[in-house]
Amino acid sequence: MALDLSNSGFSDALVILGAAGIVIPAFARFRISPVIGFILVGALVGPAGLGQLVQQFPWLYYLTITNPHSIEPFAEFGIILLLFSIGLELSFRRLWTMRTLVFGVGAAELLGAGLLIGAGLYFLGQSWSGALGLGLALALSSTALVLPIAGTTSPVGRSSFAMLLFEDLALVPIIFLLGALAPAAGNVGIGELAGVLGRGAIIVALLYLGGRLYLPRLFGQAARTKSPELFLAASLLVVIVASMATTAVGLSPIVGALLAGLLIAETEYHSEVEVITAPFKGLALGVFLITVGMRLDLRMVVQDWPLLLAAILGVMTVKVAVTTLLLKLSGARTATAAEAGVLMASPSETTLIVLGVAAAAGLILPSTAAFWTTVTAIGLTITPLLAKAGRFASRKIEDRDHEKTVDLQEVTIGGSVIIGFGRVGRTVADMLHAHGKPYIAVDADIDGVAEARREGYTVMFGDVSRSELVDRLNLGHADALILTMDDPVLTVRLTRRVRSWVPDIPIIARARDAAHAAELYKAGATDAVPETLESSLQLSEAVLVDLGVAVGPVIASIHEKRDEMRKSIKEAAALEREPRLRRVRKEAEA
């Protein structure tokens, strides 16, 4: 069978796959976000880029997308799969607990930002109906870009998801409202909207009941075949049917996709479904971003860049202020509210839909719609940069608040001090917390400290190489000092200094190996745990057992090796007692 390279669909597919397989890895090599990469590729190969040169250079036909509208369904499918994957990570119970955030903060954020932006446009000369339509369109934020960046489990992710979920639910009422405001609206209005919502409630209920009854059976049969292809087909079938059902009654297809994900999340097959659909979601989202890039008219950007810049900054400033204030009033931490506010300042892919509806209804001129479409495309392009700016602002706020929120004297009297809060320090903190023992941790990595504090750990930023900070830790009143830093020289120096100052405090230190443990014992450590020794012994134990060596001899050899290490550390450190090293698990000895 001969391939018809002149077929526009085949040619466009080659361009998209080439972008995914060649261009994007090149962007990644220079640490440029794939989001920006896909959008720039769309701008380059679209009608406003190289596509306008095809007449002069016919060979560019194979490097450009000649029919942008033909790939739009695949772009919409990417957003549908994104919402489906988000549903897989949630549950109905968790969604119910977020109802106040969704319908409280989410509604206030959309209406507040929309009305403020609309008021500004009205005073700049836009008609009140057009200003309202533009305000609501520009107040929307990008589900497709924000959620992959923020996730749904972190404080920022939960807040962002709640607001984005309300925006997605509000899309249909917004479209009906703009239709009702059209000069030739006729009978379009509340009655038809109520009908759509009523039919939507019925179809959602039917999907919920049907999913509860038949999804476990469907995926059970697919799992028994042990065929990944059949499992993938069943997954995509569920997503498409649910999306088509909600679309048929006038709701957004993403409502059906989210519901399908929530229903599958209640089954035991959700992990397999999530893994098997991930590649399709990533590629389809890439297609969506390329379509966004194709909307960028680079000549307009060059000609009107001062006006475009002012529009972008004005819209984003309003959204940052409204979102941050509402989250702060709802009880969120200042750093979380600021980060979520900056991230949510980006426009939405659905903004393009609302702009098209407003233009079709005659509320705004086509030239106005084209201008704000370019603003939206640029805003989507800089979303990864907004995410970085939000994290930077969050870290600065956390750093400023450290001294205000941590009272060292109160925490360390009768508690333990952990210096170093990497993976080892976190584990020690978790165990202390589990047994009701107070602690304070100190670390010099401001990013790690900010993240740990957001997760509820008692951590402060500080560099223990500075003697004045160590003096402030009130170690004379502490129960124990735990050193988990990955700096052997500083660990020994700090151990020696604290032991000379507080002779009775237990000092438990992380050692790199037996030689480092001996140095720590000489410096005055109560216990030194050589991590390489324990990990190598456990690894050796697992290897020997898997190779078929009897458990008894393996345990005996592990004991023998550990005893050798004890003796070598004791001799090197000139200890009167043997150091305490970890014993083999009791279940292994049995």
Residue pLDDT, tens place only, 318-356: 999 999 999 988 888 788 888 889 999 988 877 877 887
| Cα Rg of the chain, angstroms | 30
pLDDT (0 to 100) of residue 189: 54
| pLDDT of amino acid 281 | 72
Tell me what the mean pLDDT of segment 14-32 comes to.
73
The pLDDT of residue 96 is above 60: yes
> Per-residue pLDDT for 123 more than 80?
yes
| Gap between the Cα atoms of 213 and 277, Å rounded | 22
Q: Report the pLDDT value the prediction gives residue 404, as an integer from 0 to 100.
A: 47
pLDDT digits (tens, 9 = 90+) for 306-321: 899 999 999 999 999 9
- Quick one: pLDDT band at residue 588, thresholds 50, 70, 90? very low
Give the integer Cα–Cα distance in Å for 92 and 264: 11
Q: In the structure, what pLDDT confidence band is assigned to residue 362 with cuts at 50, 70 and 90?
A: confident
State mean pLDDT over 419-444: 85
**296-300, 318-322, 581-585: the lowest-pLDDT one:** 581-585
The rounded mean pLDDT for the chain is: 78
State residue 114's pLDDT score: 92
Mean pLDDT across the stretch 509-524?
84
| Range in 201-205, 517-521, 578-582 the model is least confident about | 578-582
Spatial contact of 264 and 87, defined as CB atoms under 8 Å apart: yes
Beta bridge partners of 461: 443
Q: How confident is the model at residue 119 (pLDDT cuts 50, 70, 90)?
A: very high
- Three-state SS sequence of 261-314: HHHHHCCCCHHHHHHHHHHHHHHHHHHHHHHHHHCCCHHHHHHCHHHHHHHHHH
Percent of the chain scoring above 90 in pLDDT: 7
Percent of the chain predicted with pLDDT > 70: 86
CA gap 402, 289 in Å, rounded = 39
Q: pLDDT-derived band of residue 182, with 50, 70 and 90 as boundaries?
A: low
Between the alpha carbon of residue 413 and those of residues 407, 439, 478, 501, the distances in Å are 11, 9, 5, 17
Question: pTM, whole model, 2 decimals?
Answer: 0.61
User: What digits encode the pLDDT tens for the residues 132-177?
Assistant: 889 999 999 887 778 778 777 777 888 888 898 888 778 777 877 7
Helix (H, G, I), strand (E, B) or coil at 482: strand
pLDDT of 501-514, one tens digit each?
888 888 888 888 77
Single-letter amino acid, residue 46? G
Residue 48 has what pLDDT? Answer: 75
